Structures are given as C-alpha cells and as structure tokens.
C-alpha cells in the first residue's frame, strides 16, 4: 500500500501505513517537541516581555505580556500529544503517562511509533505532529513580525486582545482598532497588569 502521509506517493514500509522517509520525519518531529516546548516556556518568562521594557527598564513586567502564538502552540502541543497518548493507551490496554508533561508524552508516543505507524490514523498522526513542530517553530521565530499579545483590551465592551505589532513599527493596539500612543503605554501597561489574562 501507499504511504498515507499527505502529498506522499511512496510505498509504505511493510506492516505500516507510512513510508520510511515519512516515518523518519515523524520520529524527528516528535523528538524536537520537548525542546520546542521548553523554548516556548522560556519565551513567556518576564525577561522576554516587550511592552514594559519599551516603557521603562525599571518597572517589573511580571505576568502582563503573553505572546499569544507561543501560548497557543504550547497548549496545543500538550493537548494533541495527550490525546494521541490516550488513543495508544486505549488501543494497547496500557496506562497513559500520568503527567501531562510534553517530554513524557512524546517519549511514550516514540516508544509506540511502530504501532502508531500501522494504525488507521497514522497519516493524521504524522500530520498533526508535523503541524505542532511547525507551529512552535514559527511562533518562536523572532523574525515573524506577528503581533505580541499583551492582554485583553481594557476599553469597555471590547473583547479584542491588545498587541504589540512589530510589523507596524511597534504600534500598540487591539484587534478592534483601539490604539495607544507611546505616552499612553505606561498607564495601559498598569491597567493590563491588573487584569487576569486567561490563556
Ligand atoms: Zn511517505
Ligand atoms: Zn479594544
């Protein structure tokens, strides 16, 4: 049979649904996830925040600056790996990793890669793992110029997220069009700091 990986036309290796190169890519992607996850965590620590650094180097920026893309990539990594572990655990009749720790989840899946490669959902698995690695890599790319999420917009009735946008020369604004001038950043920053940002 043919490899079930998207846009691949190679023959699958015996007893699996993936060809050797696709299986090897899958293995590599799984191996990179724990490192990418750690790197995402590091990006979310106060030392890597943006807005308050621009406002004042003396102010503490704890907890107000969250990079949405990084937060999302990290959460999706944990959720996706957990659900594949649950599928393996159920299919094999073995317990899934007790903790939702990305390194443990990835190691669990890597150890059952042959079984997963033969599973009807092998193509979906390979695609999702590649997507996780790709999304995290992209989210961590400092050149991507995407908005850096700072917190929910404090304007009454607005539900958009305030972001620092490197692609517009560092403009600070929310998705609904509220914009803050540099002289307003300090008061904005303290308003954001007082809000609970639920990622
Ligand atoms: Zn293939
Ligand atoms: Zn707004």
pLDDT of residue 63: 35
DSSP single-letter state for residue 50: -
Q: Which residues surround ligand 1, an ion (CB under 5 A)?
A: 3, 5, 8, 10, 19, 22
Q: Which two tokens stand for residue 17?
A: 């649904």
Task: Assign 71 a pLDDT band (cuts: 50, 70, 90).
Answer: confident
Query: In what order do the strands lie in the sheet containing 179-180?
Result: 148-152, 161-165, 171-174, 179-180
64, pLDDT greater than 70 = no
Question: Rounded to an integer, what distance in angstroms lies between the CA atom of residue 137 and that of residue 140?
Answer: 5
Residue 18 CB burial class (10 angstroms; 0-12, 13-18, ≥19): buried
Our measurement of the distance from residue 50's CA atom to the centroid of its chain's CA atoms, rounded to an integer in Å, reads 19
Closest ligand to 23 CA? 1
First to last CA, the chain: 43
Q: Which two tokens stand for residue 139?
A: 């989210």
> Mean of the pLDDT values across residues 89-100?
95
148, pLDDT greater than 60 = yes
Question: Rounded to an integer, what distance in angstroms lies between the CA atom of residue 168 and that of residue 53?
Answer: 18
Closest ligand to 162 CA? 2
pTM metric for this prediction:
0.65
Question: Rounded to an integer, what distance in angstroms lies between the CA atom of residue 29 and that of residue 126?
Answer: 9
pLDDT of residue 142: 64
Look over the chain and give the mean of its residue pLDDT values, rounded to a whole number.
81
Task: Tell me the CA–centroid distance for residue 75 and ligand 2, in Å.
Answer: 25
Residues 6+ apart with CB under 8 A from 196: none
Closest ligand to 10 CA? 1
User: Are 193 and 154 spatial neighbours (Cβ–Cβ below 8 Å)?
Assistant: no
The closest of 102, 130, 96, 135 to 23, measured between CA atoms, is 130
Closest ligand to 180 CA? 2
- What would you measure as the largest C-alpha separation in the chain, in angstroms? 65
Task: Tell me the CA–centroid distance for residue 138 and ligand 1, in Å.
Answer: 23
Task: Tell me the CA–centroid distance for residue 85 and ligand 1, in Å.
Answer: 22
pLDDT in tens, 1-43: 899 987 788 999 999 999 999 999 999 999 999 999 998 888 7
């Amino acid at each position: 049979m043919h490899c079930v990986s998207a846009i691949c036309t190679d023959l699958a290796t015996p007893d699996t649904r993936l060809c050797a190169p696709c299986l090897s890519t899958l293995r590599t992607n799984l191996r990179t996830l724990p490192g990418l996850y750690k790197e995402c965590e590091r990006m979310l620590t106060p030392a890597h925040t943006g807005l308050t650094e621009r406002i004042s180097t003396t102010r503490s920026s704890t907890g107000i600056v969250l990079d949405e893309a990084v937060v999302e990539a990290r959460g999706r990594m944990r959720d996706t790996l957990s659900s594949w572990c649950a599928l393996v655990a159920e299919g094999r009749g073995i317990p899934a990793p007790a903790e939702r720790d990305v390194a443990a989840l990835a190691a669990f899946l890597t150890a059952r890669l042959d079984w997963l490669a033969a599973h009807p959902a092998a193509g979906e698995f390979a695609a999702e793992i590649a997507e996780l690695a790709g999304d995290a890599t992209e989210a961590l790319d400092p050149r991507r110029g995407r908005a850096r999420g700072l917190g929910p917009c404090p304007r009454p009735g607005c539900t958009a997220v305030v972001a620092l946008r490197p692609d517009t020369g560092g403009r600070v604004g929310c998705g609904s069009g509220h914009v803050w001038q540099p002289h307003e950043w300090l008061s904005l920053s303290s308003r954001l700091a007082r809000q609970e940002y639920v990622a």
